Amino acid sequence: MLTCALLVAPLIAGLSGCGGSPDPLSAKPYDAADQISFSGDGDGRKADPDKPLEVTAKDDDSRITDVTATDAAGRYVRGELTDDGKRWRSTVPLAAGAHYTLKVSTEDSNGAPGRRTVDFSTSSAHRLLKVTFGPKAGEYGVGQPVTATLSRPVKDPSARAVVERALKVDSRPAVEGVWHWVDSRNLHYRPQEYWPAHATITVHSNLKGIRIGGGLYGGAAKSLRLTTGDRIEALTDSGTHQMTVKRNGVPIRTIPITTGMPGFDTRNGIKVILAKESAVRMTGASIGLGAGSYDLMVYWAARVTKSGEYVHAAPWSTGSQGYANVSHGCTGMSTANAQWFFNTVRLGDIVQVVHSNGEDMATFDNGYGDWNMAWADWRKGSAIASGQSDATPADSARLRPQV
Contact of 68 with 103, CB cutoff 8 Å? yes
Instruction: List active site positions.
Output: 312, 330
Q: Cα 336 to the chain's mean position, in Å? A: 40
Return the half-sphere exposure (C-beta side, CA atoms, 13 A cut-off) of residue 123.
13
Number of Cβ atoms within 10 Å of the Cβ of 74: 7
- Report residue 258: phi and psi, to 5°: -130, 140
For residue 135, cis peptide bond before it (omega within 30 degrees of 0): yes
Exposed e or buried b per residue across 114-142, where buried means at least 16 C-beta atoms within 10 angstroms of its C-beta: bbbebebbbbebeebbbbebbbeeeebbb
Residue 312 to residue 21: CA distance in whole angstroms: 94
| DSSP assigned state of 195 | P
- The whole-angstrom separation of Cα 287 and Cα 401 is 7
Write the CB contacts of 171 (distance below 8 Å, at least 6 apart in sequence): 177, 191, 195, 196, 199, 200, 201, 202
Strands of the sheet containing 295-303, edge to edge, are 275-283, 295-303, 310-313, 331-333
**Contact criterion met (CB below 8 Å) for 139 and 225:** no
**Alpha-carbon span 270 to 315, nearest angstrom:** 26
